[in-house]
Structure formats: structure tokens, C-alpha cells
Amino acid sequence: MKEKTEFLKREYEQMKKDGLTWTIRGLEGPSKAHVMVDGKECIMLASNNYLDLANHPKLREATIEAVKKYGAGAGSDWSIAGTMDIHQELWDKIAEFKGAEAGMTYQTGFAVNAGLIPQLVGKEDVLISDELNHGSIIDGVRLSKADKMIYSHSDMGELEKCLKAADEKDYRRAIVITDGVFSMDGDIAKMDEIVELAEEYGAMTYVDDAHGEGVLGDGHGIAHEFNLGERIDFEMGTFSKALGGFGGMLAGSEWLIKYAYNTSRSWLLSAAFPPHVAATNIAALELVDEENHRVKHLWELTDYFKKEIESLGYDTGMSETPIIPAMIGDSKKAQELANRLYDEGIFGLAIVFPMVARGKARIRNQMNAGMTKDDLDFILNAYEKLGNELDLI
Ligand SMILES: *Cc1c(COP(=O)(O)O)cnc(C)c1O
């Protein structure tokens, strides 16, 4: 090993000792409710594939047909020569799906937050952000030259204080940024109150709907859930979760879209995603309505699992969506529980520091519309047995 890069090994080993490294488990075959993981059949509790669309025949078919028609790659950045008609068709579909004037795609959801946020507010502005916002928002915030204010999680009193303070300082622009569904806890932003307060103080609103699309608002996301229509200024999301595809999306006014693709560096300086990805995503948006029973089933599973795991004695924290954590506290214990669940044929993920605060380790259980009630009973039995054995309940 070269001396100048020896730090890689040294620092990795330290992280490992602290229990902060990822063990990457390998899926053999498609992501669905029942998966093969490192040679073992498991029920999937750790994916974001809420509607079980990732391996849906319609998505597979749409993908294959697009490969036949358009080939494998887009050949360029969207900004230069990579925008194909099928990408534009997807942009229109996003607008329709979100009930917005216009829509567009980014390479990923991460690329929306990292690329757009710094363009919306600069030196003379202020950015107000929930403390539990996703890491990609945090990176977008870091890239912005605006002043920053962080409010305690979903604390509307504190949000109002920030807005007031911002108002008194005469900033040029203010923006409130929040996750729609908080990814580690599964609770929902108080979007109606946030929009109300922001309007009162003349601040813009930006919501990250990554875990809301396909889940909230009959599958159409948080703006539909709260009936907010175009009152949310900036709505971004991802195709890589409930929708089973890949890529980031943005919806809003016609001027937002024109502004976004002319200024976001992540968009301008990076390749278009392949045309077959656009085809997959179009099929996914259509399926949310065509097979709306998936959304309903997802919520039936959610209600059942949450009620039953709580009655076993587990704390599910603030959960109100298909993200239903079992709060454990100690990270070593959470990791041990995850390993024991795997032995039972259940793939659940232990979430530890720095993804969540120290002492707040948990197993993040995520529902999948491909599951049955029997699957959940199997999982709940394992939670009961292991909870007693490990002295957790
Ligand atoms: C997953 C996620 C993203 C990133 O989306 P990708 O398309 O996977 O890059 C952004 N924000 C939130 C809240 C997420 O959960």
C-alpha cells in the first residue's frame, strides 16, 4: 500500500471499530417483497420500493421497448444534445402527475437538491430548514451563500420565530425547505401550516417529496395530500422510491423550470439519464392511477404493522407512513437485532449514527405493496421472539 493513501485503510478500520460502516448485502435477482439476499430468501423490509413497481411487468416492458427504439444511452447532457422526445414526454407527465404548470427531470433527486437550492437563494437571502431534513438538502443548503436558520423538527413556533427574524432583517428573499415525509422517522411535515406561515411572511416554500410520491395524496404526493395545489412553490422528488424507476423530478411554474435548467450546475454539467429510464418512469407514473389498489394495500399493511408491532411493546417513534421504525436506542443492539432478523429470513436495516442521532438507533421497517398480511405476521412473530431474547420488549 502506498504511504500517501494509507489513511484510507486506517480511517476505514476506525469506522469499523466504531460500528459505523455499512455491510453491503447483495440482492440476487429483482427487488421485490420476497428477495434473495446473499443466498438466503428474505422478506424485504429495507427497500424504498413501496408500491412494488421496481419489477412490475409494465415497467420491464416499457424499458425493453425503449431500448429497442432509442438504444442504451442519451449520448450527451440534457443541456447539449441529450434531450430526446421521450424525456420531454416524461417532463409533461410529471407536470400532470403533480398538478403543476411544468415539470422536468434531473439525474437524481440528490442532484435536484444539490443543484437547485443554491440557485434559489444567495448572499442577500435566508434559508430556513427543518433540522431533520435529508442529507441532500443539507448539501444543497451548504452550497448556498444564503444565511441559514435551522428550526427544531416540525416545530411551527420556532419556524414562525425564524420567519419573523428573517422579516426584520430585510432579506431580499426567504425560503422554507422541508422533507415531505421524514426518511428516518416516517412522520409527515405539517405542510399546511408551513405553507400558511410562509405565505404570511412572504417566504417561498420548497418540499422534498421523495418518500411521499406513490404514498401520500392517493399516490400523487404531499401537495395532493394537503390539497395545496400550486401554493407550494417548489416540489421535487424522485423516481427511485415508490415509483420503482430512477431519477429526480421537479415540478412548479413554467418559469421555475426554465430557470432551473438554465442555472443548476448538477443538471447542466452531467449526462442525461438514458431514454429507457424515461420510459420506465412514464410507465410508473401511469401505474399509480391504473393500479391505485397498490396505494390502498400499502396503507392497509402500514396500519396493521404499526398497530401490531406497537402492541408487542416496540416504540415506533413519530411514524405515520409506511416507514415504521422500531426504536432500539443502542446501535450495537440495533445491529444485533438486524442480524438476527436476517437469520430468520427478514431483511431489515439497522440505522445508526450518523444517519440518526447517537442513542437513537433503530430498525427502519418499510412496507411494500407486494407483501401480504401473512408476511407481516411472520415478521411480527420474529420481532416478538427476538425482542424477548434480546430483552428489547
Ligand atoms: C432518497 C432521497 C433523495 C435522493 O433521491 P435520489 O433520486 O435517490 O437521489 C432526496 N431526498 C430525500 C428526502 C430522499 O429520501
What is the pLDDT at residue 9? Answer: 96
Domain boundary (255, 270, 290) is at 290
pLDDT tens digits, residue range 273-285? 999 999 999 999 9
Do 215 and 95 contact (CB within 8 A), yes or no?
no
Distance from the alpha carbon of residue 210 to the mean position of ligand 1, in angstroms? 5
Same domain, 198 and 243: yes
| Domain span at 14 | 2-55+292-389
Nearest to 110 by CA among 148, 137, 128, 132: 137
Residue 300 one-letter amino acid:
E
What is the pLDDT at residue 22? Answer: 78
Atom of ligand 1 nearest to the CA of 181: 13
Split at pLDDT 50, 70, 90, the class of 355 is confident
Same domain, 65 and 84: yes
Q: Which residues are catalytic?
A: 183, 211, 241
| DSSP-derived secondary structure letter, 205 | E
Residue 274: all three cell numbers together: 438514458
Q: Is 107 in the pocket of ligand 1 (CB under 6 A)?
A: no
Nearest to 116 by CA among 231, 213, 269, 261: 261
Same domain, 41 and 71: no
**Buried b vs exposed e over 137-169: b needs ≥16 C-beta within 10 Å?**
bbebbeebebbebbbebbeeebbeebbeebeee
Q: What is the mean pLDDT of residues 107-124?
A: 98
Distance CA 234, CA 250 (A): 7
Q: What is the mean pLDDT of residues 8-28?
A: 88
pLDDT tens digits, residue range 158-206? 999 999 999 999 899 999 999 999 999 999 999 999 999 999 999 999 9
Full-model pTM: 0.96
CATH number where 166 lies: 3.40.640.10
Same domain, 213 and 123: yes
Distance from the alpha carbon of residue 327 to the mean position of ligand 1, in angstroms? 22
Q: Specify the residue with its C-alpha closest to ligand 1, atom 6.
A: 109
Q: What are the helix and strand counts (H, E) for the chain?
A: 14, 13
Question: What's the residue count for the chain?
Answer: 393
Residue 134: all three cell numbers together: 435529508
Same domain, 246 and 169: yes
Q: Is 136 in the pocket of ligand 1 (CB under 6 A)?
A: yes
Q: Is 133 in the pocket of ligand 1 (CB under 6 A)?
A: no
Same domain, 252 and 333: no
Same domain, 247 and 313: no
Same domain, 280 and 326: no
What is the pLDDT at residue 21? Answer: 80
Distance CA 150, CA 132 (A): 9
Q: Is 183 in the pocket of ligand 1 (CB under 6 A)?
A: yes
Q: Specify the residue with its C-alpha closest to ligand 1, atom 3.
A: 109
Task: Give the phi and the psi of residue 324 in degrees, each rounded to 5.
Answer: -125, 90
Q: What is the mean pLDDT of residues 47-62?
A: 98
Q: Is 108 in the pocket of ligand 1 (CB under 6 A)?
A: yes
For the chain, what is the domain count? 2
Do 207 and 235 contact (CB within 8 A), yes or no?
yes
What is the pLDDT at residue 1? Answer: 77
What is the pLDDT at residue 152? Answer: 98
pLDDT tens digits, residue range 232-275? 999 999 999 999 999 999 999 999 999 999 999 999 999 999 99
Distance CA 368, CA 322 (A): 8
CATH number where 332 lies: 3.90.1150.10
pLDDT tens digits, residue range 136-147? 999 999 999 999
pLDDT at 20 over 80: no
Q: What is the mean pLDDT of residues 90-114?
A: 98
As a whole number, the mean pLDDT across the chain is: 96
Residue 141: all three cell numbers together: 443548503
Q: Is 240 in the pocket of ligand 1 (CB under 6 A)?
A: yes
Domain boundary (226, 261, 290) is at 290
What is the pLDDT at residue 357? Answer: 87
Same domain, 34 and 165: no
Q: How far apart are the first and last CA of the chain?
A: 47
Mutate to test the pocket of ligand 1, among 49, 208, 215 (most ligand atoms within 8 A of CB): 208
Task: Give the phi and the psi of residue 263 in degrees, each rounded to 5.
Answer: -125, -25
Split at pLDDT 50, 70, 90, the class of 309 is very high
Beta bridge mates, 237: 249
What is the pLDDT at residue 331? Answer: 87
Q: Which has the minimum average pLDDT: 8-17, 58-67, 117-126, 302-311? A: 8-17
pLDDT at 318 over 80: yes
Beta bridge mates, 101: none
pLDDT at 334 over 90: yes
Q: What strands, in cross-sheet order, belong to the sheet with 40-44?
A: 34-37, 40-44, 346-347
Place of cell 442555472: 263
Domain boundary (275, 290, 305) is at 290
Same domain, 40 and 131: no
Distance CA 94, CA 246 (A): 14
